[in-house]
Amino acid sequence: MADDTAKDEIIHRGRFLTYAKTSRGWEYVTRTNAKGCVAVLAMTDDKRIILTEQFRPPVGRNVIELPAGLAGDIPLQEDEPLLVAAKRELKEETGYVAKNWTMLLEGTSSAGMTNEMVSIFYATGLTKMTEGGGVGGENIKVHFVHHGDVTKWCRDRQAEGMKVDFKIFAAIHLARAVSQSTESKLWY
């Protein structure tokens, strides 16, 4: 992530986040240890979307998400390209590798709170390579949901008390738009 905070007052610099304030008093956070964030919409050959579930302390609940993570957060790999990070995160979290990769969009995660940018990739041609589940005690559960059932499935998880990351729906919408010109039957 670009460091636009050079002119702003640093309130606190933690291991993972830096808390800053602009000259006009706007408070925000930046990542201390990463250059970007990646998320992956991974679709199996039988049209199932791979989603992850893990406990997220800030919301105090399990959250349904796309496989995702940080780029440049590994020591001596600070310049890790976003696509390399996306491939690493997909394999770590789900155990899958993908043959085909498309960049769908880069956008803000929460522009009023952070300068963090999220790059969403679309991955197809999947092959199971490992068990997945994350690294370092992440305890990630993997779900396979047919693309036509994702909305209902996610609403059912919300009814059970989980949170759902809306980037799932943005990624599906973007992948449909991209694939209409190359794979007209992908979403049928």
Structure tokens at 122: 């679309």
Q: Domains in the chain, ordered, with CATH?
A: 1-33 (no CATH), 34-179 (3.90.79.10)
Cα 147 from chain centroid (whole Å): 18
pLDDT of residue 2: 46
Q: How would you write the pLDDT of the chain (188 residues) with one tens digit per residue? A: 445 556 899 999 999 999 999 999 999 999 988 889 999 999 999 999 999 999 999 999 999 999 999 998 887 888 899 999 999 999 999 999 999 999 999 999 999 999 999 999 999 999 999 989 888 888 999 999 999 999 999 999 999 999 999 999 999 999 998 877 655 455 44
pLDDT of residue 117: 94
pTM for this model (two decimals): 0.89
CB 34 within 8 A of CB 73: yes
DSSP secondary structure of 117-175: EEEEEEEEEEEE-S----STT---EEEEEEGGGHHHHHHHHHHTT-EE-THHHHHHHHH
